[in-house]
Amino acid sequence: MINKSYDEKTHYYGKLWIWTAAIVFVFVPISICVYYNAWPPFTSVLKGLLGVAPIFWTVGAIEVITFTPMLGTGGSYLAFVTGNLTNLKVPCAINAMEINNVKPDTEEGEVVSTIAVATSSIVTTLIIAIGTLLLGTLTPILNSPVLKPAFDNILPALFGALGVVYISKNLKLAVTPMLFMVVLFVTVPSLAGSVGILVPVGAVISILMARLLYKKNII
Amino acid sequence: MNFNPNSSFLYLVAAFVILFILVQSLFFLIRAYRRGKEIGMDAKKLRKTITSSAIFTIAPAISILLGVLTLSKFLGLPLPWIRLSVIGAITYELPAATSTASALGVSLSETITSPTVYSAIAWVMTLGILPSTILVPILLKRIQGGLVSIKSKDSKWGELLITAMFLGMISAFMGMVFSNIRKGLPGWIPIFVMLFSAVLMAVCGLFIRVLKVKWLQDYALPICMIGAMVFAIIITPAIL
């Protein structure tokens, strides 16, 4: 179990940072409104929000429940500020714990996951910053049609390698959610846009299956 | 006042936010590193974790940068830069901007010139994603408490639960890769890329376990990912 006092302190610092971050986030639109004296009509913000908030608030809440157990305390407080969880922070933390042979929710797992998320956040921020500053030079390269297929396929490239490790280790557990998702996406391709919603669906199916197999002593 | 979405004021705001993110990340990095040493973890291993995480991050980070480029066409650079350095992601910011623009009856085909439209978009982007940030301090302890009580009752099931959750996430994304197969051969490209990446990982596994190439373990994931992306560049023109 994680050392109480260190973990308590992580919660304390984490809360301090995350609430400050929330203030910093809100400071951005406020500063724009004040500086340009351009407060948008409340109704237009509300209308814009209505188009995205129902889905993104739900996905956000689900992501908190699904990913915090994998990321640990420090990793969670940081990853939910720096973002890009499914395509970067969660695979990065899980991969780092796998390499170090440690499990989430242990002292070592907490350290490794936080280091992975923090490093990944720093590198991402730096790459975006350098990229933004060198945009003139980089735009033609990044937008070149030759490279396009590489970035179009970044998720299959990531989840193929990550998937084979976890599926081969937990074959019995993985079969049902995998089959369900493949059949679902082949039948209803338009769901690809709402994959965020389907992550918890996959998690619930996977947990129910795990429970069943565990009770029957199959795993 | 004349509005320029690439003004130095907006760059200043961006620099402030980026600095905040960097300081917060450094704070957690140093703290975790010290803690690792304190509980007797090998410093070499901790440093390797930093290197391997950094290398793994490069390709996804460049793809995030592409998101900044996409949004910058109508929002200028500073706002997309801010949004994609914090909790935002292109999959969220683009619909948020589109939804607000259509609510205001504005087209996103060219750079925004109205500060009111710009600030409305900034508000929607911010408020739409804020709950996932503020839910963490509210829910984290409760979730962990729940996990602790599950683990104390049955530790094997506690571990299985986290593995099952992760498999659920992987299966959703792997399932998504199959969403275009009814479009014929081009729809199969992502599947070929995924399979190539999986095969590369299996080969890496052989090298690590059988031939004892230990260093490969730390870099296997980025190697497979970039290898599969190169594979995508090669097969896409051949198929299309």
User: What is the 3-state composition of chain B as percent helix, strand, coil, each rounded to the nearest 5?
Assistant: 85, 0, 15
For residues B109-132, one letter each, b for 16 or more C-beta atoms within 10 angstroms of the residue's C-beta and e for the rest, the string is: eeebeebbbbbbbbbbbbbbbbbb
Chain B hits for A92, CB-CB cut-off 8 Å, are: 53, 56-57
**Of the partner residues B32, B58, B77, the one whose CB lies closest to the CB of residue A115:** B32
Question: Is the residue at B157 inside a domain?
Answer: no
Q: Is the pLDDT of residue B2 over 90?
A: no
Helices B216-239 and A154-169 meet at what angle, rounded to 10? 130
Task: Compute the average pLDDT of residues B1-10.
Answer: 85
Q: Is the pLDDT of residue A89 over 70?
A: yes
Task: Compute the average pLDDT of residues B222-239.
Answer: 94
Q: Is the pLDDT of residue A2 over 70?
A: no
Task: Give pLDDT tens digits for A17-51.
Answer: 999 999 999 999 999 999 999 999 999 899 888 87
Q: Is the pLDDT of residue A98 over 60?
A: yes
Question: Is the residue at B234 inside a domain?
Answer: yes
Instruction: Report d(CA B41, CA B28) in Å as an integer.
Output: 17
B138 and B229 inside one domain: no
Q: Nearest CA of chain B to the CA of A81: how many Å? A: 5
Domain span at residue B193 reads 176-240
In terms of pLDDT, which residue wins out, B204 or A60? B204
Question: Is the residue at B171 inside a domain?
Answer: no
**Of the partner residues A78, A151, A173, the one whose CB lies closest to the CB of residue B63:** A151
B184 and B130 inside one domain: no
Determine whether the interchain pair A115/B29 forms a contact, defined as Cβ–Cβ distance below 8 Å.
yes
Q: Nearest CA of chain B to the CA of A114: how many Å? A: 6
B4 and B95 inside one domain: yes
ipTM for the whole complex: 0.86
Question: Is the residue at B95 inside a domain?
Answer: yes
Task: Compute the average pLDDT of residues A158-174.
Answer: 92
Q: Is the pLDDT of residue A3 over 70?
A: no
**Of the partner residues B57, B151, B228, the one whose CB lies closest to the CB of residue A160:** B228
B29 and B119 inside one domain: yes
Kindly list the distances between the CA atom of residue B116 and the CA atoms of A27, A44, B121, in Å, as whole numbers in the listed order: 16, 10, 9
% of chain B at pLDDT higher than 70: 99
Question: Is the residue at B156 inside a domain?
Answer: no
Q: Which residue has the tokens 């480029």?
A: B69
Chain A hits for B63, CB-CB cut-off 8 Å, are: 87, 151, 154
B4 and B86 inside one domain: yes
B196 and B106 inside one domain: no
B94 and B182 inside one domain: no
Chain B hits for A56, CB-CB cut-off 8 Å, are: 92, 96, 128-129, 132
Chain B hits for A131, CB-CB cut-off 8 Å, are: 62, 65, 68
**Of the partner residues B22, B50, B175, the one whose CB lies closest to the CB of residue A184:** B175
Q: Is the pLDDT of residue B119 over 80?
A: yes
Number of domains forming the structure of chain B: 2
B146 and B180 inside one domain: no
Q: Nearest CA of chain B to the CA of A19: how many Å? A: 7
B33 and B92 inside one domain: yes
Task: Give pLDDT tens digits for B56-115.
Answer: 999 999 988 888 888 888 888 999 999 988 877 777 788 888 888 888 888 777 788 899
Rounded (5°) CA angle A169-A69-A71: 85
Question: Is the residue at B209 inside a domain?
Answer: yes
B125 and B18 inside one domain: yes
Determine whether the interchain pair B99/A65 forms a contact, defined as Cβ–Cβ distance below 8 Å.
no
